[in-house]
Structure 1
Amino acid sequence: MFSEPPVNHMDSTDLNKEDPSLESLAAVMREVAQAEILPAFGLVQARAKADGSLLTEVDLAVQQRLIKALERLTPGIAVLGEEMPESEQLRLLERASADDAHAGEASAFWALDPLDGTSNFACGFPAFAISLALFRKGQAELGIIYDPVRDECFSARLGQGAWLNGDPLQCRRDCQRLADAMALIDFKRIPPERVPGLIRTGAFRSQRNLGSVALDWCWLASGRAQIYLHGAQRLWDYAAGRLIAAEAGVITRMLPPGLAEPSAGLTLAPRLAMAAAHPALFDQWWEHVGLPWRE
């Protein structure tokens, strides 16, 4: 059973309410997954959205139920869900940025991906998750990802650590050579001309693609892979997972396409993600990938 380690709650003046416990969030996510996700696994029809990604009625049902639950747990804190209209998402980010500009005010919102890995879910491939992160003043401060197939709940609090089902989570640091690393790479979002160089002989030991960004980050955090590359992640994709990985000791970097340096501020624009489980390994991976990729 998930049990959250003791933590000191943040000053309630920041949110006008204490953060909900990770245990309470995990319980809600498990309940929703058991009611909406698992009974429909591999049985629902999916349709393509404007960006080409898939959507099912389960995505919408999970988002609706979790928004209602979060309104109850943290009244007054808005939810930015993947399946909301983009205009509504942009208004929420603009409001949060405006709040950030006033030193005496605290901005906070939830970033929710109700079903990360919808394509997997729809075709019966067992790799998908619910992803949820709490942002304050432009930074993710709490993240929780629930994998209903494995009943694994990954979580983190900024500066306090990461956990898997309540047990401390630390990435493995025993792999320090690129040739020994297990890689998670999403080739679909990488320029085709860059792929041959990435997969040349001796580049890494082996490669996988889970089809779920949230689980990619969590599996890095838990030592199931050592290096990572994904060409285009959105805010709800990486919000919780990157925090969990970083709190577990993974070296991470999020970059605007075509640039070698991060940009400040929150955005809905896609970001390239790179990561490695050891600083020396990250340096080798960075050199091998050869960023920035210019168009």
Structure 2
Amino acid sequence: MLMEKVAEILAEASAEAVEPRFRALAAGEVMEKAPGEVVTVADREAEQIITRRLRELLPVPVVGEEAVAADPALARALLSEPAVWLVDPVDGTSNFVAGRPDFAVMASLVRGGQTVAAWIWQPVTGTAYAAELGSGAWRNGHQLTRTPAGDAPEKWRGVLKSRFLEPAEHHRLRTNARVFGHLSEGLRAAGIEYPQIADGDQDFILYWRTLPWDHSPGSLLVTEAGGTSARLDGTPYHPEPPGGRDGLLVASDPATWERTRAILLGTPT
């Protein structure tokens, strides 16, 4: 019941506050909340709708991206509360503002510091992803099982997110990554990129900054589909307040994760 209800909440909030403004944002409906970071009225209205309805469903704190932008202390609930909702009302806001279709509406439920349920709604394609800890991952109701990437890195497809990397680290990783078959900078939307791993369209992604509302839903989706999402020291991903650890490698399967880390960091396998 919970899985279906939250999926409905995201789709309905998107239909009300997000989709009518896609490629139709009016003057004054786009603001800068931080240098290089934009927010729209769609983000704020969708988060308000989702927050209210999630609290009606399960009355625990809601850590929303826009609420935390206004009051960073709200994110501490991830450390202090037994259960927390995480909400990203428009993941990929820069794409949304530019009229590109790569954006999503996301939520997850965190208990005891671990993501136990996750939802990703992609409005443009009408695609719904969901995952439940220990039960599996689904796309539009069909269970996802990710096959391993194979043992030939020269055929792997990956993403190296370099926006928040120091120049020297970026150069080192890009140099080591030349062995891979195809490498891109990604689509600036975790709600699009993580499903690409679960669906088999990408084999790995290296993220650096890991805001919890961006990575909690997709990490559970990938791991429940058979993949791996872990810090570079091998620690499984758990959502943390902003300002925590950097670096997160996501891959199609455990063996691909290990091999990709070794290649990127230049360590022997």
Q: Shorter-normalised TM-score: what interval?
A: 0.7 to 0.9
Q: Deviations over 1:102-143 (max 9, x none)?
A: xxxxx1110111111000000011101111010111111000
- TM-superposed deviation, 1:24: 1.7
In the superposition, relative to structure 1, how do residues 283 and 48 fare at CA in structure 2: closer, same or farther (>3 Å)?
Answer: same
Give the distance between the partners of 1:127 and 1:250, measured in 2 at CA: 22
Per the alignment, residue 88 of structure 2 pairs with 113
2:40 pairs, out of 47, 53, 56, with 56
Q: Deviations over 1:231-270 (max 9, x none)?
A: 1111111111101111011121135xxxx36498833225
Per the alignment, residue 119 of structure 2 pairs with 144
5+ residue gaps, structure 1, are 1-19, 97-106
Give the distance between the partners of 2:178 and 2:93, measured in 1 at CA: 33
Give the distance between the partners of 2:197 and 2:207, measured in 1 at CA: 13
**Identical-residue share of aligned pairs (%):** 26
Structure 2 residue 15 is matched with structure 1 residue 34: yes
1:204 pairs, out of 180, 190, 196, with 180
1:46 pairs, out of 5, 19, 30, with 30
Structure 2 residue 241 is matched with structure 1 residue 267: yes
Would you say how many aligned residue pairs link Structure 1 and Structure 2?
258
- Superposition RMSD on alpha carbons, in Å? 2.2
- TM-superposed deviation, 1:183: 0.7
In the superposition, relative to structure 1, how do residues 224 and 81 fare at CA in structure 2: closer, same or farther (>3 Å)?
Answer: same
Q: What code does the residue aligned with 2:60 have?
A: I
- TM-superposed deviation, 1:283: 2.0
In the superposition, relative to structure 1, how do residues 265 and 47 fare at CA in structure 2: closer, same or farther (>3 Å)?
Answer: closer
- TM-superposed deviation, 1:169: 0.7
Q: What code does the residue aligned with 2:96 have?
A: F
1:216 pairs, out of 181, 184, 193, with 193
CA contact (8 A) 2:78 2:113 kept: no
Within 5 A, what are the aligned runs for 1:98-177?
107-177=82-152
In the superposition, relative to structure 1, how do residues 203 and 126 fare at CA in structure 2: closer, same or farther (>3 Å)?
Answer: same
- TM-superposed deviation, 1:94: 4.7
Give the distance between the partners of 2:89 and 2:189, measured in 1 at CA: 12
Give the distance between the partners of 1:287 and 1:38, measured in 2 at CA: 42
Q: Deviations over 1:178-201 (max 9, x none)?
A: 211111222212222233343347
Judge which range, 273-282 or 197-206, deviates more: 197-206
- TM-superposed deviation, 1:53: 1.7
Give the distance between the partners of 2:153 and 2:32, measured in 1 at CA: 37
Judge which range, 156-165 or 30-39, deviates more: 30-39
Give the distance between the partners of 2:238 and 2:4, measured in 1 at CA: 32
Per the alignment, residue 7 of structure 1 pairs with none
CA contact (8 A) 2:78 2:239 kept: no
Structure 2 residue 217 is matched with structure 1 residue 240: yes
In the superposition, relative to structure 1, how do residues 264 and 152 fare at CA in structure 2: closer, same or farther (>3 Å)?
Answer: closer
Q: What code does the residue aligned with 1:220 have?
A: I
In the superposition, relative to structure 1, how do residues 88 and 196 fare at CA in structure 2: closer, same or farther (>3 Å)?
Answer: closer
TM normalised by structure 1 equals 0.80
Name the SS for the 1:42 alignment partner. coil
Q: What code does the residue aligned with 1:199 have?
A: R
- TM-superposed deviation, 1:93: 3.2
Per the alignment, residue 183 of structure 1 pairs with 158
In the superposition, relative to structure 1, how do residues 39 and 291 fare at CA in structure 2: closer, same or farther (>3 Å)?
Answer: farther
Per the alignment, residue 80 of structure 2 pairs with 95
Per the alignment, residue 72 of structure 1 pairs with 56
TM normalised by structure 2 equals 0.88
Structure 2 residue 82 is matched with structure 1 residue 82: no
Give the distance between the partners of 1:95 and 1:69, measured in 2 at CA: 22
Per the alignment, residue 225 of structure 1 pairs with 202
CA contact (8 A) 1:156 1:163 kept: yes
- TM-superposed deviation, 1:291: 7.9
Give the distance between the partners of 1:131 and 1:266, measured in 2 at CA: 17
- TM-superposed deviation, 1:202: 4.2
Within 5 A, what are the aligned runs for 1:252-291?
252-254=229-231, 260=233, 262=235, 266-270=240-244, 271-290=246-265
In the superposition, relative to structure 1, how do residues 290 and 174 fare at CA in structure 2: closer, same or farther (>3 Å)?
Answer: closer
